[in-house]
Amino acid sequence: MLEIKASETVKEGSIFGQITQMDHEQLVICHDEATGLKALIGIHNTTLGPALGGTRMWPYATEEEAITDVLRLSRGMTFKNALAGLNLGGGKAVIIGDPKLKNEAFLRRFGRFVQSLGGRYVTAEDVNMKTSDMEYIGMETKHVTGLPEIKGGGGDPSPVTAFGTYMGMKAAANKAFGSDSLEGKKICVQGVGQVGQYLIKHLVKEGAEVMITDIFEDKLKSVAKETGAVAIDPNVIYDLDMDIYAPCALGATINDETIDRLKCAVIAGGANNQLKDEAKHGQILLEKGIIYAPDFLINAGGVINVGAEYFGGYNRDIVYKQTEKIYDTCLSILNKSENEQIPAQQAAIAAAKERIEAIGRVKLPF
């Protein structure tokens, strides 16, 4: 019989082309006519354990956009979970459509699809999904986490994410200034949402000079009043004189337009995918001498929280102890970046891959 090599059947840009390039195990397409559900589940790597990552609901303009997003996000979860020391692989789901489509039947149907994977994928909240949505999904599958506290879950992961981000920021400050004290440091937090608000409180408590910004003026004013931080116009942030820039809003804020304007010594924030082009902008930051704390490393507090809930016996003190370790991991990654003269993001991905490979070898084939 003629043997066909996998690489010969793969076209660049096709679904199999993308999966091969990013090294995914599985991409699941879920469809239900009755509820209007259209979802994709990406399972990137399950060497360390079940693939855990949230479900995002978004009105993607094209199917291609949704596929690219689920593949990129699930790959990111593999590295995040590995570097956080979790025994979890990387996965993510996207539901295509207006979040207003969500109702009990819609979410329970999605729960059925998650259940059909037999635990290879574990879901949780992400953009446009709430803890209450997880309750409906949880009626059809046990492979769901991030439930409300009242239902025995770990509750809102944002304070834990913010604490981990704070730990990562202190480690980066140690590297840049020779001390991890943030007292008197000029720090600008972009985005006063769930993560940003908790982070601001840690920084103010430590005596930092905190500036904050958001596109919603009312919210910005009210957080400034509550915390004592100084409100800044969102359009001037990239030109500000500051020691630390903390992106806590959307991704890709470090890009061709902003990178030369940034005058900070450190970038450390909770937002996902801060570098628009991972390789290019990571390299420019290295050359400019800006210490960059990789986002997926320092914002892992949330997944540490939902992971602890999934494995059972949830204990918030243990979750915070584990999240505190982000400080040491971040410092060792920044040292690796300096010693090997490679961007911090690249050093972090390499360390995550090393752990996956080492643990993969621990398992006996039979």
Q: Is 265 helix (H, G, I), strand (E, B) or coil?
A: coil
Shortest Cβ 259–ligand NAD spacing (Å): 16
| Interface with ligand NAD (CB under 6 A), residue from 89, 146, 153, 196 | 196
Kindly state the tokens that stand for 315: 């204990």
Closest among 307, 294, 311 to 52, alpha carbons compared: 307
Quote the distance between the C-alpha of residue 72 and its chain's center.
Answer: 11
Q: Is 250 in the site for ligand NAD (CB under 6 A)?
A: yes
Q: How many separate helices (H) and strands (E) can be counted in the chain?
A: 13, 12
Q: Judge whether 349 and 190 are in contact, CB under 8 Å.
A: no
> Within positions 300 to 359, which residues make up the interface with ligand NAD, using CB under 6 A?
302
| Interface with ligand NAD (CB under 6 A), residue from 45, 78, 131, 190 | 190
Q: Is 230 in the site for ligand NAD (CB under 6 A)?
A: no
Query: Which residue of the set 80, 92, 170, 185 is catalytic?
Result: 92
Pick the closer one to ligand NAD by CB: 116 or 255.
255
Q: How far apart are CA 53 and CA 300, in angstroms?
A: 11
Pick the closer one to ligand NAD by CB: 133 or 214.
214
Pairing of strands 291-292, 266-267: parallel
Q: Is 188 helix (H, G, I), strand (E, B) or coil?
A: strand
CB atoms near residue 355 (< 10 Å)? 16
Q: How far apart are CA 187 and CA 183, in angstroms?
A: 10
Q: How far apart are CA 78 and CA 80, in angstroms?
A: 6
Q: Is 168 in the site for ligand NAD (CB under 6 A)?
A: no
Q: Is 215 in the site for ligand NAD (CB under 6 A)?
A: yes
Shortest Cβ 37–ligand NAD spacing (Å): 23
Shortest Cβ 309–ligand NAD spacing (Å): 13
| Interface with ligand NAD (CB under 6 A), residue from 26, 115, 181, 194 | 194
Q: Is 133 in the site for ligand NAD (CB under 6 A)?
A: no
100 has catalytic annotation: no
| Interface with ligand NAD (CB under 6 A), residue from 40, 248, 275, 331 | 248
Quote the distance between the C-alpha of residue 331 and its chain's center.
Answer: 19
> Within positions 41 to 100, which residues make up the interface with ligand NAD, using CB under 6 A?
none
Give the residue numbers marked as catalytic.
92
Which residues of the chain form contacts with ligand NAD (CB under 6 A)?
157-158, 161, 190-196, 213-216, 219, 234, 248-251, 270-272, 299, 302
